[in-house]
């Protein structure tokens, strides 16, 4: 039987559109298998299913083979994104020699992006990075209480701010991820939190990517969701966040929701989901808020949903209780 979890195989690789210097270009996305995020042994974040994607014994040799596979598929795309289900700057995931090889291999592309927790972003680690690097920072929320109790992130918003400013001082790019609707929040709270967090992140970001919470398997959030105590955000909420922010921040606003339109991901009534997700994709590229002018009758249901949440003072999944539609679009 083929070993699907071989440490010398990439987890995934695909091509998609993204932006470099204000231009839409092709990007190669590489998901590497590594020893996994250092934070997982402290329980990990409440919504993160990455522990499923990481292994325990990935050697330098294995990582070298994964790099060769990526290079065999590389067709001179100007943008390369390398995800490790953790931190690219963590030596335990990507040893320095391998990191150097990867950065060298893609030194000719205009932009290379990877993610890192802020504790690995130091004066020393940043000094050696080539200038085509953008670091993606998972801020999630600028509210320290939300980060601590709702996301269990293990760092503070100020840790991210320090890392972001250090990257900017060194001439590197910053893409900041925000989480729309961490657990225990109503839709209205989630919208406010995302808007405030984006204003906080704008100081040190080139791009702000809003990630609506997608319920991943074997996570704390999945347990809440199965009990009807969590509903993934409405697409209207994401649209509202963009409308409030549009024209008021310098960073490019973007979102490419995973699981969009499914019960586990950001969703509306089912009829308008695709149109709205397409509109959000167009907005992410051109920043034109008129793209978001899509209409559907379910917007009144979204308003009613938020009013009910406020009256009940609860973020429980009211949709599910009233309509029991869990199995329809999972």
Residues lying near ligand SF4 in the complex (CB under 6 A): 37, 39-40, 44-45, 48, 50, 85-86, 117, 138
- What pairing do the DSSP bridges indicate for beta strands 23-31 and 252-254? unpaired
Out of 89, 135, 272, 277, point to the residue binding Zn ion (CB under 5 A): 272
Instruction: Give whichever of 180 and 279 is closer to ligand SF4, judged by the CB atom.
Output: 180
From the list ligand SF4, Zn ion, none, partner contacted by residue 269 (C-beta under 5 to 8 A by kind): Zn ion
Which listed option, Zn ion, ligand SF4, none, makes contact with residue 212 (CB within 5 to 8 Å by class)?
none
Per-residue buried b or exposed e for 309-329, using 16+ beta carbons within 10 Å of the residue's own CB: beeeeebbbbbbeeeeeeeee
Q: Calculate the CA 257 to chain-centre distance.
A: 8
The one segment of 17-25, 66-74, 103-111, 268-276 that binds Zn ion by CB under 5 A: 268-276
Q: Which is nearer to ligand SF4, 27 or 37 (CB)?
A: 37
Q: Which is nearer to ligand SF4, 201 or 239 (CB)?
A: 201
Question: Which residues have CB under 8 Å from 57's CB, separation 6+?
Answer: 7, 35
The whole-angstrom separation of Cα 237 and Cα 213 is 12
- Decide if residue 276 touches Zn ion (CB under 5 A): no
Identify the three-state secondary structure at position 235: helix
Question: Which does residue 70 bind out of ligand SF4, Zn ion, none, counting CB within 5 to 8 angstroms by kind?
Answer: none
How many whole angstroms separate alpha carbon 326 and alpha carbon 330? Answer: 7
Task: Confirm if 99 and 125 have CB atoms less than 8 A apart.
Answer: no
CB 305, min distance to Zn ion, A = 12
Query: Which residue, 185, 201, 194, 202, is CA-closest to 149?
Result: 185
- Decide which of Zn ion, ligand SF4, none touches 272; Cβ closer than 5 to 8 Å per partner kind: Zn ion
Q: Decide whether 39 or 106 has the Cβ nearer to ligand SF4.
A: 39
- In whole angstroms, what is the distance from residue 29 CA to residue 15 CA? 6
The least distance separating Zn ion from the CB of residue 268, rounded to whole angstroms, comes to 4
Q: Which residues bind Zn ion (CB under 5 A)?
A: 268-269, 272, 296, 298
């Amino acid at each position: 039987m083929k070993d699907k979890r071989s440490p010398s195989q990439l987890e995934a690789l695909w091509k998609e559109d993204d932006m470099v210097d204000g231009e839409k270009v092709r990007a190669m996305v590489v998901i590497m298998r590594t020893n996994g995020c250092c934070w997982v042994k402290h329980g990990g974040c409440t919504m993160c299913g990455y522990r499923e994607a990481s292994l325990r014994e990935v050697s330098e040799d294995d990582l070298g083979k994964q790099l060769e596979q990526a290079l065999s598929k590389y067709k001179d795309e100007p943008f390369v994104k390398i995800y490790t289900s953790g931190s690219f700057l963590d030596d335990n995931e990507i040893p320095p020699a391998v990191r150097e090889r990867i950065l060298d291999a893609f030194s000719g592309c205009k932009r290379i992006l990877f993610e890192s927790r802020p504790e690995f972003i130091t004066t020393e680690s940043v000094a050696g990075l080539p200038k085509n690097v953008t670091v993606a920072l998972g801020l999630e929320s600028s509210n320290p209480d939300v980060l601590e109790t709702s996301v269990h992130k293990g760092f503070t918003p100020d840790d991210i701010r320090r890392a972001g400013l250090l990257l900017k001082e060194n001439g590197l790019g910053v893409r900041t991820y925000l989480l729309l609707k961490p657990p225990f929040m109503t839709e209205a709270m989630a919208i406010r939190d995302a808007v405030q967090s984006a204003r906080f992140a704008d100081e040190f970001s080139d791009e702000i990517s809003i990630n609506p919470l997608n319920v991943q398997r074997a996570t704390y959030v999945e347990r809440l969701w199965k009990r009807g105590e969590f509903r993934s955000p409405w697409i209207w909420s994401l649209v509202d966040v963009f409308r409030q922010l549009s024209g008021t921040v310098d960073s490019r606003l973007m979102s490419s929701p995973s699981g969009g339109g499914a019960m586990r991901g950001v969703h509306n009534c089912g009829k308008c989901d695709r149109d709205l997700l397409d509109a959000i994709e167009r907005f992410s590229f051109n920043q034109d808020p008129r793209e978001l002018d899509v209409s559907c009758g379910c917007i009144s249901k979204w308003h009613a949903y938020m009013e009910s949440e406020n009256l009940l003072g609860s973020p429980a999944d009211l949709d599910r209780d009233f309509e029991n539609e869990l199995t329809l679009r999972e």
